[in-house]
């Protein structure tokens, strides 16, 4: 059953309006009619709903709240050094399906691409749309937050907002300074919010690693193989799902 996210709250008689592209999707793509049912997510809660009117907007009535266990038990934010091409779009889509709570892109020392203010705003809106569609497809009860692009300094300043910060840094692990990812996960049962930091192509620089380590981040390798920048976050989220779900 198709799922839609609504920003407004239901009226006294449980009536809501679905507008914009979602309304067009219901009428033109799904070709639904009055009396058909769908799932409406309102304020993070999923409801079975019935279509009561189809015009420019689609009017629905909430029937009952549904039990929903689609969210990861940990709030995981993925911090990605800006990668080339459309890799960030792939990360956004697949990480949303895997339960990511938020995406925090940042400009790393080894990031080849640079986003100016005009490009950044347009790309962030694109990522928000991808996250919404992926959340609907995977039957999430919330859409991941897509943060604006951070500088590395802003990323470090954000470290204090999380219960645990984990950096995927292969070089540190090779030196014996990192822990196995499985061991780190076993230590997170009493943690609620987790920040996972990944570098762009070329990885995190030694200078960045030093600053993150001083800020209290844990360092790890994601297994014996070197993963691409778009693969590593998905590997980590899959491991978190396996450990906690």
Q: Is residue 229 domain-shared with residue 126, that is, in the same domain?
A: yes
User: Within 13 A of 122's CA, how many CA atoms are on the CB side?
Assistant: 5
pLDDT at 69: 85
Q: Is residue 7 part of a domain?
A: yes
pLDDT at 177: 52
Q: Is residue 226 part of a domain?
A: yes
Q: Is residue 222 part of a domain?
A: yes
Q: Is residue 136 domain-shared with residue 47, that is, in the same domain?
A: no
What is the value of pTM for the model shown? 0.89
Domain count of the fold of the chain: 2
pLDDT at 225: 83
Our CA angle for 165, 174, 220, nearest 5°, is 20
pLDDT at 8: 77
Question: How many Cβ atoms from other residues are within 10 Å of residue 203's Cβ?
Answer: 21
Q: Which residues of the chain have pLDDT under 50?
A: none
160-217: pLDDT as tens digits: 999 999 999 877 556 655 578 999 999 999 999 999 999 999 899 999 999 999 999 9
Q: Which domain holds residue 11?
A: 3-65
Q: How far apart are CA 129 and CA 118, in angstroms?
A: 17
Pairing relation of β-strands 37-42 and 45-54?
antiparallel
Q: Is residue 121 domain-shared with residue 206, that is, in the same domain?
A: yes
Q: Is residue 70 part of a domain?
A: no
**For residue 82, what is the domain's CATH number?**
3.40.1280.10
181-190: pLDDT as tens digits: 999 999 999 9
pLDDT at 180: 87
């Amino acid at each position: 059953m198709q799922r839609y996210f609504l920003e407004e709250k239901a009226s006294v008689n449980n009536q809501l309006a679905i507008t914009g592209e979602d309304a067009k999707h219901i009428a033109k793509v799904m070709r639904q009619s009055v009396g058909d049912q769908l799932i409406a997510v309102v304020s993070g809660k999923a409801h079975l709903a019935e279509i009561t009117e189809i015009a420019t907007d689609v009017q629905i009535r909430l029937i009952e709240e549904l039990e929903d266990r689609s969210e990861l038990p940990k709030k995981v934010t993925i911090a990605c050094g800006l990668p080339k091409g459309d890799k960030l779009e792939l990360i956004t889509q697949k990480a949303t399906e895997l339960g990511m709570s938020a995406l925090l892109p940042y400009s790393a020392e080894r990031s080849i691409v640079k986003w100016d203010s005009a490009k950044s705003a347009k790309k962030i809106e694109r990522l928000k749309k991808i996250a919404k569609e992926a959340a609907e497809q995977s039957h999430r009860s919330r859409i991941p937050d897509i943060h604006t692009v951070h500088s590395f300094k802003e990323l470090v300043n954000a470290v204090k907002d999380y219960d645990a910060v984990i950096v995927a840094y292969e070089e540190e692990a090779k030196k014996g300074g990192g822990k196995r990812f499985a061991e780190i996960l076993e230590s997170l049962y009493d943690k609620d919010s987790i920040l996972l930091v990944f570098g762009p192509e070329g990885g995190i620089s030694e200078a960045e690693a030093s600053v993150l380590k001083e800020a209290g981040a844990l360092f790890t390798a994601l297994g014996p193989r070197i993963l691409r920048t778009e693969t590593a976050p998905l590997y980590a989220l899959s491991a978190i799902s396996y450990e906690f779900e």
